[in-house]
Amino acid sequence: MAPPYRLAIHWFRRDLRISDNTALHHAAAGAKAVLPVYVLSDWKKSHLWTGEKRQIFLCRCLESLGKNLDSIGGQLIFRSGSAAAELENLVRETGADAIFYNQDPDPFGREAEKRVEAMAKRLGIACHGYHDVTLHGPDEVLTQEGKPYRVYTPYSRNWLSLRKPEPYSRPRALHTPSGISSLALPTNAHWKLSDPAADLVEPGERAAHQRLKTAIAERLGTYGESRDIPSVPGTSRLSQDLRFGLLSPRTIYAQTAVAMAKSNSANARSGMEKFIKELAWREFYMALLWHFPNVLEEEFNPDWRGLWWAEPGEDFEAWKQGRTGFPIVDAGIRELLATGFMHNRVRMITAMFLTKDLHIDWRLGEQFFMQHLIDGEIASNNGGWQWSAGTGADAAPYFRIQNPWSQAKRYDPDGTYTKRWLPELAKVAPEKLLAPPKDGQPIAPGYPAPCVDHSAERDRTLAIFKKHRRQ
């Protein structure tokens, strides 16, 4: 039976891979030829949440994707501008009779999809959108009343009970026609980006699969014990691969499940189970954003809307520079600025410090993280910030206020992580990194004294929340 379409456009977005790609799989199966397209945007004008390091990584991933497509008879076409307008131009130029794409979970991507679908309907061509970015769509995991969950634990129980979809096969050939005009492969110069930092993660699908292999072989078995220790490689480091679709969640789940089944160690299986539950957290936050897109503008918990926040000033600038005088906080920010990454435990510490010790609006921290994280994921970032601020779904209660000194003592007791990112503290005794200086003076030349007193600011936070609750 002949494929129903003559030429299908595959609109690449955050699915920069050829293996286990839902829309690409269906496009290759349903059309005689496939035209892969990526539509570039003027990133500095697109949104305040777009970051330079993430764009550098994107450029390099697109280069890798282009080579992978070449290997199966494809050619990645680049256009720039509105996705709907540029895809319409391609339809008119090539006579394409179908568009395939994987759906974006955030509101901005969904708006672009609506415009593309309207364009396809107007032109009388087929348009197929597929769920691909999570194992289960936002309408698959619902309460018995058919409503979205607002608390993680019952969501995760339901999520874990569902049968997981199998990975899709890789297309054998795309047969992309020649002679289609394309912009050049985007480079750092295209977006006027600086040179990539030395510590940027290796881009591309092949590198992502190697990271998954390493994670399963060396990290996930001890994930339960080591994931919170920032000085050791105890996390999966797959977050950017999920963000850009270098790996699918189906592939990650399937390979982890195989490793669990083969393992003779109960401890290793437990570590892998904890990792899988982190995939559920990711999907919980994506489902929340899907059902409650207002969380990008306001607190999820209506009880805390209108909460007082301090005007950002010198303390906020110190936080953004890693100069607060709280070593574990500053180390996290310096790691972020240098590499585009921050350990997850330290993300929680720095976020709660900004909102509970400096009383700065969580939205400002959310934006700062998105501007610097290579793995910046709108849903997870928003969920994490609202959790730390005490305003989100299933958030830490407002009276849970982490002490950055005790957090350092618990998770970086010898200062290995802190000293890695704060070289000015390299010769400071570890115990001095775990408690405020008794004399209020800096613990090393060139390093600031603590900008606030944690105990006093904790009391102030409690008073702010209690006052708001009484109003």
CATH for 82: 3.40.50.620
Same-domain check for residues 161 and 123: no
Same-domain check for residues 20 and 152: no
Same-domain check for residues 359 and 438: yes
Is 175 within the bounds of a domain?
Answer: no
Mean pLDDT of the chain: 95
DSSP for 370-381, please give it. Answer: HHH-TT--HHHH
344 catalytically annotated: yes
385 catalytically annotated: yes
Same-domain check for residues 118 and 251: no
308 catalytically annotated: yes
Q: What is the pLDDT of residue 441?
A: 85
pLDDT at residue 367 above 90? Answer: yes
309 catalytically annotated: no
User: Taking a C-beta distance cutoff of 8 angstroms, is the pair 226, 216 a contact?
Assistant: no
Same-domain check for residues 122 and 162: no
pLDDT at residue 264 above 90? Answer: yes
Grade residue 47 by pLDDT with cuts at 50, 70 and 90: low
Catalytic residue among 89, 158, 344, 403: 344
> Measured in whole angstroms, how far is the alpha carbon of residue 429 from the centre of its chain?
35
pLDDT at residue 46 above 60? Answer: no
Taking the C-alpha atoms of residue 262 and residue 242, their distance in angstroms, rounded to an integer, is 25
pTM for the full model? 0.96
Q: What is the pLDDT of residues 118-164, one digit of tens each?
A: 999 999 999 999 999 999 999 999 999 999 999 999 999 999 999 99
Name the domain boundary from 251, 270, 291.
Answer: 291
Same-domain check for residues 276 and 315: no
Catalytic residue among 63, 273, 278, 424: 278
Taking the C-alpha atoms of residue 268 and residue 123, their distance in angstroms, rounded to an integer, is 54
pLDDT at residue 95 above 70? Answer: yes
* All residues at 6 or more sequence positions from 471 whose CB lies less than 8 Å from its CB, including other chains: none
pLDDT at residue 324 above 70? Answer: yes
Taking the C-alpha atoms of residue 259 and residue 221, their distance in angstroms, rounded to an integer, is 9
Q: What is the pLDDT of residue 374?
A: 96
**Residues in the chain, overall count:** 471
43 catalytically annotated: no
Same-domain check for residues 286 and 306: no
Q: Please tell me what DSSP assigns to residue 148.
A: B
Same-domain check for residues 447 and 364: yes
Is 71 within the bounds of a domain?
Answer: yes
Is 14 within the bounds of a domain?
Answer: yes
Q: What is the pLDDT of residues 48-89, one digit of tens each?
A: 778 889 989 999 999 999 999 999 999 999 999 999 999 999
Same-domain check for residues 351 and 272: no
Please tell me the total count of domains within the chain: 3
| Ramachandran category for residue 277: left, alpha or beta (phi over 0 → left; psi -120 to 50 → alpha) | alpha
Is 399 within the bounds of a domain?
Answer: yes
Grade residue 42 by pLDDT with cuts at 50, 70 and 90: low
Catalytic residue among 11, 191, 362, 421: 362
381 catalytically annotated: no
pLDDT at residue 18 above 80? Answer: yes
Q: What is the pLDDT of residue 51?
A: 85
Same-domain check for residues 262 and 387: no
Burial (CB count <10 Å: 0-12, 13-18, 19+), residue 208: buried
Q: Is 306 helix (H, G, I), strand (E, B) or coil?
A: coil
Give the domain extent around 257. 134-166+205-291
Same-domain check for residues 326 and 217: no
Q: What is the pLDDT of residues 176-230, one digit of tens each?
A: 999 999 999 887 777 777 766 545 799 999 999 999 999 999 999 999 999 999 9
CATH for 158: 1.25.40.80
Same-domain check for residues 320 and 447: yes
